[in-house]
Structure 1
Amino acid sequence: MAHPVVHWEVAGPDREVLRIFYEGLFGWKSETVDENYALLQPGEGPGGGIMCTRPGMPPYVTVYVRVEDLERALKRVRELGGELRVPPAKIGNGMAFALFTDPAGNMVGLLTTAVT
């Protein structure tokens, strides 16, 4: 697969409530990154995260797809009728992400490790 799903995310107004819920429901292990984010390891498949949404931001569940060139992928998103929701931002060491909505309004993330 040229563009695999490499991460997923569940977001809502209370990260801790969501973390406890998913740990209790599925037995997933979590690692707190900061007060707004925790990484989840389900044991199989790609890992995910629990995020605290900002005020006015709705809860969501999304997947992140790996791409080589974030700007090129976002240009294609717009050409195909999608809309940029969160502009590219660097995270971690050498990574960047962006979020867009598809024509139906579904939130999808893009993740690249090709950041210098």
Structure 2
Amino acid sequence: MPNTPQSFFWYELMTTDLDAAEAFYTAVVGWRAEPFDKTPGMPRYVIVNAGNRGVGGLMNLPEEARKMGMPPAWIGYIHSRDVDASVASLTKAGGIVHRAPADIPSVGRFAVVADPQGAVFMLLQPDGPDQPAVPLDTLGHVGWHELYATDWQKALDFYSGQFGWGKDEQFDMGQMGIYQLFNAGAGMIGGMMNKPEQMPAPAWQFYFNVAAIDAAAKRVTDHGGKVLMGPMEVPGGQWIVQCEDPQGAHFALLAPVR
């Protein structure tokens, strides 16, 4: 287990239409987007900002991913102080390596991996000094991380062992099973549950903070996206809505009850 819990700190959309995705999410979430141009010869990459900081990026699906049939999707990056050591530890614990550690010039060292049940995420060892975490309640930032697993207990054991996450409260959702909250040190950052049968594979879902849920849900449909579930109120004084963007990537929105 790491001495200090490590969490998600960057979120990346791989899409089939970068221009359309940029227009959609800036309208729906309210991000300020800017091009990332520090790496000559690299594919186009758009940084999205929450508050005064970049919190994620948008890019076109790489050709090799398209050929493998990967759909548009959001993927989260977990911070690592040593990607190679993290990958070795993950592999020993039954995790999956989809892309071995490699360097991104001017950015850091990364790897594409999955937990033992197949939920994909990335590891990133950034260049330069660590920056303070962006507060989870910042508008536009991810305020909640949700894992749909085949066995949430084993998933929590894995993430606890690799990244120091802790078990928190849990809720009995009846036929939907247990919803287990988890933390990465101080404060809850997400929940885990066993995935519904109709969901093809385990996956992470990310909830972006917005000011008001009904207005945000309307922006989703007004700009060509779909509302898949909600809006609905959840424990903790919040509203959520689960959505799909026009290219088919799943995401969710989170707002306080007013």
Which of 8, 17, 21 aligns to 2:158? It is 21
Change in Cα spacing, 1:100 to 1:53, as seen in structure 2 (3 Å) is same
* Cα distance in 2 for residues equivalent to 1:23 and 1:93: 23
Which of 40, 44, 56 aligns to 2:182? It is 40
Kindly provide the amino acid, as one letter, of the partner of residue 7 in structure 1. Answer: W
Which of 182, 195, 198 aligns to 1:53? It is 195
The 3-state SS of whatever aligns with 1:55 is coil
Kindly provide the amino acid, as one letter, of the partner of residue 64 in structure 1. Answer: Y
Residue of structure 2 equivalent to 1:5: 142
Residue of structure 2 equivalent to 1:90: 233
* Cα distance in 1 for residues equivalent to 2:244 and 2:162: 28
* Cα distance in 1 for residues equivalent to 2:188 and 2:181: 11
* Cα distance in 2 for residues equivalent to 1:93 and 1:29: 19
Contact 1:29 1:42 in 2 (8 A): yes
Contiguous gaps of at least 5 residues in structure 1: none
Contact 1:30 1:39 in 2 (8 A): yes
Residue of structure 1 equivalent to 2:246: 103
Sequence identity percentage: 30
Name the TM-score, length of structure 1 as normaliser: 0.83
Change in Cα spacing, 1:5 to 1:45, as seen in structure 2 (3 Å) is farther
Structure of higher CA gyration radius: 2
Aligned length: 115
| Aligned-residue CA RMSD (Å) | 2.1
With a CA cutoff of 8 Å and minimum separation of 6, indicate the structure with the bigger relative contact order: 1
* Cα distance in 2 for residues equivalent to 1:93 and 1:44: 17
Name the TM-score, length of structure 2 as normaliser: 0.41
* Cα distance in 2 for residues equivalent to 1:60 and 1:80: 25
The 3-state SS of whatever aligns with 2:196 is coil
Which of 182, 202, 205 aligns to 1:62? It is 205
* Cα distance in 2 for residues equivalent to 1:44 and 1:102: 32
Structure 1 position 76, deviation (Å): 0.8
Deviations 1:67-109 (A, max 9, x none): 1221111111112221111111111143111110112322211
Contact 2:146 2:205 in 1 (8 A): yes
Structure 1 position 44, deviation (Å): 7.1
